[in-house]
Amino acid sequence: MRNYNLGFISDQDIYNHVRETVAKYKTFIDLKQFNQNVIDPIKLTFDTKVYGKSFEDIIEAECIRQIDKGNTNHIGYFHQNIFRYAGNGWEVPEKGFDVVNRQQHIYCELKNKHNTMNDASSQKTYMKMQDQLLKDDKAVCMLVETIAKKSGNEPWHARVDGVPFEHNRIRRVSMDKFYGIVFGDETAFFRLCKALPDILDDVVEELHCGQLENKVYDELKQLSPETMRSLYLLAFKKYDGFSEF
């Protein structure tokens, strides 16, 4: 492990946090996992013909899509749980808000992108924050966005049941500004992003990872030499006529 010199978090703590995140990453997929939600062979057939790809290429892409969906949740873990190392009253509760500081009366919900929430989710989150203001008359609630439209810390203009709402203590905050609030360093998020490739290199080297083991295509071949037939039988084996596929 090298010196990362972030200042707002120790080298050992950021290394451990990145290591925990990497350890959660999925590096293996087999046919059982691949078909947990039942793959649609008709869509895959369209994909092969429309994009001029082989079934092997399309299956590989679908495997990556499935793995990526799970790994996106692990990145959420990374963004949220780094604040466990902040001290000064910051904590990551098991339920309720994502990050809180009860001493400072700050309650935060974290989102990856500014367009992640649909209208229903946005309304639910805003009402949750309104309720917190009623419970704690000193509360400041924050919607913190990793990838916001712009850097900022401003009142969240929201609509609930079509009615516009704005409150100075319900805020919309970009991740760089939030790091500044938590760690007292306005460039903390920038310096973390700059150091992250080096930290990951060190973690990957220790864990000897970096390869994805994909058994899906080989296991489909075991079902039938014809991959297309295997995919259809996987979904429609009990349907009339498919025994003759």
Per-residue pLDDT, 196: 95
Q: Does 122 share its domain with 215?
A: no
> Are residues 210 and 175 both part of a single domain?
no
Residues 183 and 112 in one domain: yes
Residues 34, 66 contacting (CB under 8 angstroms): yes
Cβ(41)–Cβ(224) under 8 Å?
A: no
How many folded domains does the chain comprise?
A: 2
pLDDT tens digits, 4-49: 989 999 999 999 999 999 988 877 788 888 877 778 889 889 998 9
Domain that includes residue 126, residue range: 90-195
pLDDT tier, 224 (very low <50, low <70, confident <90, very high otherwise): low
Q: Are residues 160 and 223 in the same domain?
A: no
Are 31 and 216 in contact, with CB atoms under 8 Å apart? Answer: yes
Look up residue 83 and give its DSSP letter: G
Domain boundary among 195, 210, 232: 195
Same domain, 69 and 118: no
Within a domain: 4: no
pLDDT digits (tens, 9 = 90+) for 78-94: 999 999 999 999 999 99
Condensed to tens digits (0 to 9), the pLDDT of residues 170-207 reads 999 999 999 999 999 999 999 999 999 999 999 988 88
